[in-house]
Structure 1
Amino acid sequence: MYKLQKKITTPRKITWLKSSTSQSWIKQAIANPIEILIDHANCERKAAGFAIQLMFRYLSEPGLAEVLSPLAREELEHFEKVIGILHSRGRYLEPLAAPPYGGLLMKRIRKEEPLRMLDSFLVAGLIEARSHERMSLLAKFSPDDELKNLYGELLKSEARHFGLYFSLAEQRFDRSEIISRLNELAFLESSILSELHYEPRMHS
């Protein structure tokens, strides 16, 4: 049940993702680097917005703003870095139709508190975990040195972000409750990505 510790703990080792990204996604992403960059910028913007949204929703929650405010700033720094590369290539942000991934995960966030808080942390953490996995693949397989370096530079912070969301949950909820719900959401996340979306996206 709901609890609060005074100090953020280091997240214990945990398997977040129930499946690995397919070779089909890797081929799709590498073949469409600009679309992936544009979508990546949008993902960073949304991630910053979600962190800020949680800060406003739980305005009086001890220890939350202290974690989410720097996280949001870092997401925006990543956003700026990505659009800088887009600018250098003569492109800018464009409206891209979102894949079903994020919307379907957000729909599974329960409405009643404090379960809404728990689910929000876990969904955000899963999205960060998948982003980390996919950026690691792009850093490894992209034939474009600039993009390879970009994704490689972002890996450490992406790993820290999903760890932070788990720590926020672990401070406030029993571990058994966290693991049970995380497993449910992780299987859903894997199911959503089981078929490749027809448009190239970070989470297609």
Structure 2
Amino acid sequence: MPSTITFERDLPAIKWLAAPSSNDWLSQAINNPLEVLIDHAHCERKAAGAALQLMFRYLCEPGLAEALTPLVKEELDHFEKVLALIKMKGRYLEPLPAPPYGTLLSKEITKVEPQRMLDSFLVAGLIEARSHERMQLLATNSPDMELRNLYAELMVSEARHFSLYWVLANERFEQKKVECRINELALIEASILSKLHHQPRMHS
């Protein structure tokens, strides 16, 4: 049943996302704050791992390691901050079944180079953009002031991370090709999230 709760949405639109997150997701996340927080700790860890994987895959790509190393460090710093708040609230990092979001998006990455590189940058960037949008919603609507403050702090970096992947793509590929491909991937990303996952997650 669609949510009837009214949330604050007087927020700037996130460029390149094809659709906003639903009120149903926001209601689910607010009603399960610690589960979403634990899941987000896993997301920060995975984001660092994804950037490291790109550095290893494209070991000799000029400028890539220099661009991604600070991102990896920042993702791990965020992981530590989220983990500290989880512990402060009496929980600890625990395994959670992942939603299909990341796996389904990764399947859209073309296997043949150089398209594989472009798709990898854009998929990583879209995940960062969606994280930014959802943290912004939580920072605005969560009744827990500690969570509001945490998400407000972290969401700024998520937007910057999207911008980094966007720059990496545009430095290496023709702009019209990049824009065409991100529009395709953004529609797929929005479609994946159009059906609410039964478990509360940052990307459910």
- TM-score bin (small chain): over 0.9
- Give 3-state SS (helix, strand or coil) of 1:108's partner: coil
**CA displacement, residues 36-79 of structure 1 (integer Å, 9 cap, x when unaligned):** 01100000000000000000000000010011000000000000
Q: Which runs of 4+ in 1 moved over 3 A?
A: none
**CA displacement, residues 163-189 of structure 1 (integer Å, 9 cap, x when unaligned):** 000000000000011011111100000
User: 1: distance between equivalents of 2:59 and 2:32?
Assistant: 40
- Residue 124 of structure 2 corresponds to residue 124 of structure 1: yes
Q: AA paired with 2:29?
A: A
Counterparts of 1:25-44 in structure 2, within 5 Å, are 25-44=25-44
Q: AA paired with 1:187?
A: L
User: 1: distance between equivalents of 2:81 and 2:108?
Assistant: 31
Q: Which residue of 1 aligns with 2:5?
A: none
Q: Which residue of 2 aligns with 1:6?
A: none
- Residue 137 of structure 2 corresponds to residue 137 of structure 1: yes
User: 1: distance between equivalents of 2:62 and 2:170?
Assistant: 14
- Give 3-state SS (helix, strand or coil) of 1:110's partner: coil
Q: Which residue of 2 aligns with 1:110?
A: 110
Percent of matched pairs sharing the same residue: 68
Q: TM-score, normalised to structure 1's length? A: 0.92
User: 2: distance between equivalents of 1:25 and 1:75?
Assistant: 24
Q: AA paired with 2:83?
A: I
- Give 3-state SS (helix, strand or coil) of 1:196's partner: coil
User: 1: distance between equivalents of 2:157 and 2:26?
Assistant: 22
User: 2: distance between equivalents of 1:94 and 1:169?
Assistant: 35
Aligned residue pair count: 191
Counterparts of 1:54-203 in structure 2, within 5 Å, are 54-203=54-203
Q: TM-score, normalised to structure 2's length? A: 0.92
User: 1: distance between equivalents of 2:49 and 2:198?
Assistant: 26
Gapped runs of 5+ residues in structure 2?
1-13
Higher RCO (CA < 8 A, seq sep 6+): 1
Q: AA paired with 1:34?
A: L
Tell me the C-alpha RMSD between the 2 structures: 0.8
User: 2: distance between equivalents of 1:95 and 1:15?
Assistant: 32
Q: AA paired with 1:176?
A: K
Q: Which residue of 2 aligns with 1:17?
A: 17
